[in-house]
Chains A and B, each alone.
Chain A
Amino acid sequence: MESHALRGSLASSERTRAIDRTGVLRLDPLLICGALALIGASLYTLGVTTSGDIAHDPYFYVIRQAIYAVVGMTLMLAVARVDYSRFRELRVGLYTVMIASILAVFAFGTATRGSRRSLDLPFFSLQTSELGKLLLILALAGFAIDQGRRMSERRRTLRIMAMGLAPAVLVFAQPDLGTAAVYIAITLAILFVAGTPWTHFAAMGGTALAAAVFILVLAPAVGYPILQGYQQDRLTSFLSPSSDPANVTSYQTHQSLVAIGSGGKTGRGNDATQTENGFLPERQTDFIFAAVGERFGFVGAAFILSLYALLIWRALRIMTLAKNFYGNLIAGGVAAMLMFHVFVNVGITIGIMPVTGIPLPLMSFGGSSVVVTLMAIGLLQSVYMQAHLTPRSRALART
């Protein structure tokens, strides 16, 4: 069999010519619409809930989020134009950049609330671990194909797992439990799409269980706690909410539940108080779904969720369309990343997941998250465009 790399490079030269001919980008319209609708919903929600937050600047968050969106859209289009298959050749470089950027945060990063997560750039505070999600997808997908051809499945699984765990551990040490979990989710998704046998997943499950027992029970018992105090608190308060009613974490969850619950079917609109009057912290970032739930009710929340369902459906669909295996893996990784973000973030706000800092893609205020999510969508668009430009992928799409 010919290598994907060879086919990819051939296709890429064909595609370049195709674009040159038509001069237009053949983007997936549903994916674009879903992303734009979410950005619109984010701007509107930020506009109505944060107008009084910053004195004399009612549009503080809206303007910034809009700028991030414009930057993100531009990058999305740029990424969409590139044949994603090229990134496979750069897998070692991408992986190195990812690890280096995460390490750079340890060296030069600025701390907020006890965590070192971002680099201060001239106009922007870059959370490198966000960009790392994308780099991890691109690199791991490349390695998965690469190693699949040269070594045993078990070795490949272990290698990919190790390559995914390394940045996860680094991010966890920042400390950023939520993003570390995203890295692991991406790694597992890539392994899954790459065709790792079920037995390996069973073995990983067993190992994870053993690790969890070690981290949560054994290590603290002998005096070496691995989780930060607040992380432990979040887990325990999630597992038994009544253990400490004054706890900050269960306070957040509780206020979030009250916000969403009080929204009712159609929302409280301008009468919203939970998210308006500061009862719920982080309502413009990690808890923005609670603001949606309170203001726009079940209807609004369901609308937002439908948009995510649309994105995820398109991601899975594009995964099946991809012209090559690398495309399958990338689309699978992006789909898993989106699913994980949405399920965990919304799960936190509705009280079915422990509180970890994890943004709601495109909705939560924050430049790194918005830009990286849009770039991930750009990747999906690239896969989609490439599929429509090569005869082989058209044939695949028909099957």
Chain B
Amino acid sequence: MYRDDRSRAPIPAQLSVRVAVLGGVALVMFSVIFFRLWYLQVLSAGQYQAEAQNNQVRDITVGAPRGRILDRNGGTLVDNRTALALQVRTLELPAAGGKRRADEKHRLAQVTGMSYQKITSEIHRQTKDLPASPVTLRRDVSTDLVYYLRENQDKFPGISIDRVFVRSYPQGSEAAQVLGYVGQVSAADLKLPRYQGVAPGDLVGRGGVEDTYDSFLRGINGDTRVQVDAAGQPTGGTLAQRGPQAGNDLRLTIDSKLQQAGESALSSFGLPGAFVAMNVKNGQILGLGSSPTYMPAALAKPRISTTTAHAIFGSPSDTSSTGAPFFDRAIAGGYPVGSTMKPITTVAGLESGTITPSTVINDTGAFDLGDGSQPLTNAGGGAAGPIDLPTALTISDDYYFYDVGYKLDQLTHNDTRNGPLENWAQALGLGSTTGIDLPGEAAGLLPTPAWRNNLYKQNTAPSSPGGSSVVYPKEVVDRPWTVGDSVNLGIGQGDLQANPLQMAVAYTALANGGDVVKPHVGMQVLDPSGKVVQDINPAPQRHVNIKASYRQVILDALHNAAQRPDGTSYPVFGNYPVPVAGKTGTAQHTGQADQSWYVVLAPYPNPKIVVAVTVEQGGFGVDRAAPAARTILNAYFSEKDPHFQRKLSTASTTSAATASASTTNPYG
């Protein structure tokens, strides 16, 4: 081995160079660090301070309770309960598609017992439209889970247990269609001005008064700006706070007892139907129900199962979607109204001078239109002979009103203008919406010459042979207006489609001197302390001038119809302790049982309330609709008069014998 002397021991000169180099390195490194620190802490401090501030602040939304919905007497129909909800804020989850997010979802699946797929699909479903919307995975979570998640918050970033308000319905299914429900706001809704201030994930009204009065019921969410740590847990410091503002209460015109009476009367038939009870002076709806109905609580859930949705809203495969419980037959149904139309025909006849109260028509039992078609008969067959107007109304004679319809049509024969019958029906509200404060109201159909001739023209035009937009059956569109249409309309048959609400409104004009009221279920908006914020008192839609004597004739005749032994609804109201004026209707449908109608004004002769009831396939008006109306009136008068129940029982025992005649009554 060769040896190198230099390497044996460092000469001091070489060592000091090396020490100097080490010292130089140290100097350079400290300089770099100092300059970097100066840059970070002095030159860029502002930027980093802002970022540190951002890091530790979180705005927490404090949900505002929605206002309650009360009945007219202050009873609670819709309330709130608080629940603990397991919520996911997707923006705070680990990066989408990454392993950490998948791991967290697996952990969540384990502790909640939900499947991984379900969590994924639920997050997807609830954030499809609104990515920022918090996802409610589960409501009413167990306290065990609450504590577990709170203690292991670091393993579950973006997951929180929040106190939320949930709609509760102390009266069960009562007034379900009137109340509506609440649901998460949709992306499309958020663009509408009426949902200004609503944040993704907030609940808004859907259907019923929840929808109409949403802006009143909806509160203003509070914001709390809190300090949080890296796991998102509040550290206890609150930086700013804006308390939630509870929504206003809504007091309805609905009378809970009357509502219940109407609903139970309807449901006792097991048939679809609807009723409306309304104050004839101001249009306040005292009761409005549709059968079948549903439990609105079933819709107060973060996720509504397909089964529930189909059961309430109707399944898409079910072509008769109007059969669904959510469908409010009282305001959206479209039915022929049968003989309940006759008072309207009477007004048209009298006001046009076609008939007078004393006009006598000879009912031969077979009304010949003169066009070669089969003569029209009375609903129950038979012939009443010569008969005057009041009697015709009282016994609901069809022939008389065929004749009036025919004569009215002759006034504008071969003319596309409306005749007096169409005009009066229109003036009293048929064929148009009433403007009630409930969504989903239908206008129905008032057949007019112009309507039919137009349809006929469209369908015979070469360009559109039965265009797809035409929804009427073939027999409706393949002929122009004929006198038969008027005759049919005169007795509420044919193409006419109306709902109980429209009939109730039309009858009020007869009772109150000509005001076509604007029906409404909202009565007052109250702030959370109970102070009235707004009275809901809409003006009548319009006023129609009907001669007072004519109105009196009609009212008298309807009173007789209800309470004179030959009247159509005498079997139901003959012994009623309160004088009433009511008209039965039995609308015919091809291929199914008749539809039962009854519209009653009470008390006679100065009515305060109108009740309209219809029962699909319910048979004669007096069979189903009239007894239901009687039940509703019972509820109404029981509240007015403490002795009413006693009067009622006395009355029914004294004239029980007469009540059995219902099935033998030949007239609708």
Note whether A and B form a binding pair. Answer: yes
- Per the 8 Å Cβ criterion, residues 545-578 of B in contact with A are none
Q: B7: shortest Cβ distance to chain A, in Å?
A: 4
- Whether A1 sits at the interface, judged by CB under 8 Å, is yes
Q: What are 10 sample pairs from A and B whose C-beta atoms fall under 8 A apart?
A: A261-B40, A262-B48, A263-B45, A273-B56, A277-B229, A279-B55, A325-B9, A339-B25, A347-B33, A350-B36
Task: Take A277-B228, A298-B38 as given contacts and tell me if A262 and B51 are in contact as well, using a CB distance cutoff of 8 Å.
Answer: yes
For B229, list chain A residues within 8 Å (CB): 277-279
Complex alpha-carbon distance, A25 and B3, angstroms: 40
Proximity bits, A272-286, B CB within 8 Å = 1, else 0: 011001110000000
Contact of A265 with B41 in the complex, beta carbons under 8 Å: yes
User: Hey, which chain B residues are within 8 Å of A301, CB to CB?
Assistant: 37, 41
Q: Is the CB of B33 within 8 A of A195?
A: no
Known: A151-B1, A257-B40, A346-B33. A279 touches B10 (CB 8 A): no
Binds B, one of A29-37, A175-183, A312-320: A312-320
B191 contacts partner chain A, Cβ-Cβ < 8 Å: no
Contacts of B21 in A (CB 8 A): 192
B-side contacts of A113, CB under 8 Å: none
Distance of A282 from chain B, by nearest CB (Å): 12
Q: Which of B19, B30, B33, B48 is in CB contact (< 8 Å) with A319?
A: B19
Q: Which residues of chain B (227-260) have a CB below 8 Å from chain A?
A: 227-231, 235
Contact A298:B15 (CB < 8 A) given known A262-B51, A274-B52: no
Point out the residues of chain A lying under 8 angstroms from B29, CB to CB: 339, 342-343
Nearest residue (CB) in B for A155 is B1
Closest to A344 in B: B29
How many angstroms between the C-alpha atoms of A150 and B94 in the bound complex? 61
- Complex Cα distance, B37 from A346, in Å, reads 10
Choose from A153, A261, A302, A316 the contact partner of B7 (Cβ within 8 Å): A153
Check B16 for interface membership: any CB of A closer than 8 A. Answer: yes
> Closest CB of chain A to B597's CB: distance in Å?
68
Are B7 and A262 neighbours in the complex by a CB distance under 8 Å? no
A350 in contact with B55 given A149-B8, A339-B25 (CB within 8 Å): no
For the complex, give the distance between the alpha carbons of A30 and B527 in Å.
76
Interface residues in B31-87 (C-beta closer than 8 Å to A): 32-34, 36-38, 40-42, 44-45, 47-49, 51-53, 55-56
Contact A193:B18 (CB < 8 A) given known A149-B8, A151-B1, A305-B33: yes
Q: Determine if A195 and B6 form an interchain contact, defined as CB atoms under 8 angstroms apart.
A: yes
Chain B residues with CB under 8 Å of A149's CB are: 3, 7-8
> Nearest A residue to B29 by beta-carbon distance?
A343
B245 CB to closest chain A CB, in angstroms? 31
Q: Mark A112-155, 1 if CB is under 8 A from B, else 0.
A: 00000000000000000000000000000000000011111100
Any chain A CB within 8 A of the CB of B144?
no
Known: A246-B95, A264-B45, A305-B30. 15 other contacts (CB 8 A): A150-B3, A193-B18, A194-B10, A260-B37, A261-B45, A274-B55, A293-B40, A298-B37, A302-B34, A305-B34, A309-B30, A312-B26, A332-B22, A339-B29, A342-B29
Q: Most chain-B Cβ atoms within 10 A of its Cβ — which of A156, A192, A263?
A: A263
- Report the separation of the CA atoms of residues A157 and B51 in the bound assembly, to the nearest whole angstrom: 50
CB–CB B2/A152 < 8 A:
yes
Contact indicator A277/B230 (Cβ below 8 Å):
yes
CB neighbours of A279 from chain B (8 A): 55-56, 229-230
Residues of chain A at the chain B interface (Cβ within 8 Å): 1, 4, 148-153, 156, 189, 192-195, 246, 255, 257-265, 273-274, 277-279, 293-294, 297-298, 301-302, 305, 309, 312-313, 316, 319-320, 325, 328, 332, 335-336, 339, 342-343, 346-347, 350-352, 396, 399
The closest CB in chain A to the CB of B21 belongs to A192
User: How long is the Cα–Cα vector from A325 to B12 in the complex, in angstroms?
Assistant: 10
- Asked if A260 and B41 sit within 8 Å, CB to CB, the answer is yes
How many Å lie between the Cα of A313 and that of B33 in the bound state? 16
Whether B15 lies near A328 (C-beta < 8 A) is: yes
User: Within the complex, what minimum Cβ distance (angstroms) separates A254 from chain B?
Assistant: 9
CB distance from A186 to the nearest CB of B (A): 13
Quick check: A260 and B40 within 8 Å, CB to CB? Answer: yes
B52 touches A195 (CB 8 A): no
Q: How near does chain A come to B166, taking the closest CB pair, in angstroms?
A: 33
User: Would you call A261 and B47 a contact (CB within 8 A)?
Assistant: yes
Instruction: Establish whether residues A309 and B18, one from each chain, have CB atoms under 8 Å apart when the complex forms.
Output: no
In the assembled complex, how far is the CB of residue B92 from the closest CB belonging to chain A, in whole angstroms? Answer: 13
Q: Are A320 and B19 in contact (CB under 8 A)?
A: yes
- From DSSP, what is the main secondary structure of chain A's interface residues? helix
Known: A149-B3, A151-B1, A278-B229. A261 touches B235 (CB 8 A): no
Closest to A52 in B: B235
Assess whether B591 is interfacial by the CB under 8 Å rule: no
A193 to B14, CA, bound (A): 9
Q: Which of A257, A278, A328 contacts B48 (CB 8 A)?
A: A257
Q: Would B1 and A263 count as touching, CB distance under 8 A?
A: no
Is B4 engaged at the interface, CB distance under 8 Å to the other chain?
Answer: yes
Tell me, yes or no, whether B98 is within 8 Å of chain A by CB.
yes
Chain A residue nearest to B2 (CB atoms) is: A152
Contact B10 A195 (CB under 8 A): yes
Q: Which residue of B lies closest to A352 (CB)?
A: B36
B386 near A: Cβ within 8 Å?
Answer: no
A258 with B37, Cβ < 8 A, contacts A151-B1, A279-B229, A320-B19 known: no
What is the CB-to-nearest-CB distance from B248 to chain A, in angstroms, rounded to a whole number?
40
Given contacts A4-B9, A305-B34, A336-B22, contact A265 B40 (CB under 8 A): no
Beta-carbon contact of B52 and A399 below 8 Å: no
> With A156-B7, A260-B40, A262-B52 in contact, is A192–B18 under 8 Å at CB?
yes
Query: Which residues on the B side are within 8 Å of A1 (C-beta)?
Result: 8-9
CA distance in complex: A39, B230 (Å): 28
User: A372 to nearest B CB, angstroms?
Assistant: 21
Inter-chain contacts of A255 with B (CB < 8 A): 55
Closest to B100 in A: A246
A313 to B38, CA, bound (A): 22
Cα A234 to Cα B15 with chains together (Å): 37
Chain A nearest CB: distance from B44 CB in Å? 5
Known A-B contacts A246-B95, A277-B229; the reply to A148 vs B34 at CB < 8 A is: no
Query: A243 CA to B53 CA in the complex, in Å?
Result: 25
Instruction: Return A165 CB to nearest CB of chain B, in Å.
Output: 21
Inter-subunit contact A193/B52 (CB<8 Å): no
A195, A273, A298: the one contacting B227 at CB < 8 Å is A273
Q: Could you tell me the distance in whole angstroms from the C-beta of B235 to the nearest C-beta in chain A?
A: 6
Which of B1, B34, B37, B52 is the one whose CB lies under 8 Å from A259? Answer: B52
Q: Which residues of A contact B33 (CB under 8 A)?
A: 305, 343, 346-347, 350
For residue B56, give the distance in angstroms from its CB to the closest CB of chain A.
4
Contact of A148 among B7, B48, B53, B55 (CB under 8 A): B7
Kindly report which residue of chain A lies nearest to residue B51, judged by CB atoms. Answer: A258
Q: Give the nearest-CB partner of B6 in chain A.
A: A195
List A contacts of B25 (CB < 8 A): 339
B23 at the binding interface (Cβ < 8 Å): yes
Inter-subunit contact A350/B15 (CB<8 Å) = no
Q: Shortest distance in angstroms between B326's beta carbon and chain A's nearest beta carbon?
A: 45
Contacts of A246 in B (CB 8 A): 94-95, 98
Min CB distance A275 to B, Å, is 10
Residue of B nearest to A338 (CB): B26
CA distance A313 to B30 in the complex (A): 12
Q: Residue on B with the closest CB to A266?
A: B41
Residues of B within 8 A of A259 (CB): 52
Give chain B residues whose Cβ lies under 8 Å from the Cβ of A312.
Answer: 26
Contact A193 B41 (CB under 8 A): no
Q: B40 to chain A: which residues have CB within 8 Å?
A: 257, 260-261, 293, 350
CB-CB under 8 A from A347, the residues of chain B are 33
In the complex the two chains form, what is the Cα distance from A255 to B56 in whole Å? 12
Chain B residues within 8 Å of A309, by CB: 26, 30
Q: Are A339 and B26 in contact (CB under 8 A)?
A: yes
Tell me the smallest distance from the CB of A137 to a CB of chain B, in Å: 14
Tell which of B23, B48, B230 touches A261, judged by Cβ atoms closer than 8 Å: B48
Nearest-neighbor residue (CB-CB) of A335 within chain B: B22
Closest residue of B by beta carbon distance from A328: B15
**Separation of A69 and B15 alpha carbons in the complex (Å):** 33
A264 in contact with B41 (CB, 8 Å): yes
Q: Determine which of B2, B9, B45, B227 lies in contact with A262 in the assembled complex, contact meaning CB atoms within 8 Å.
A: B45
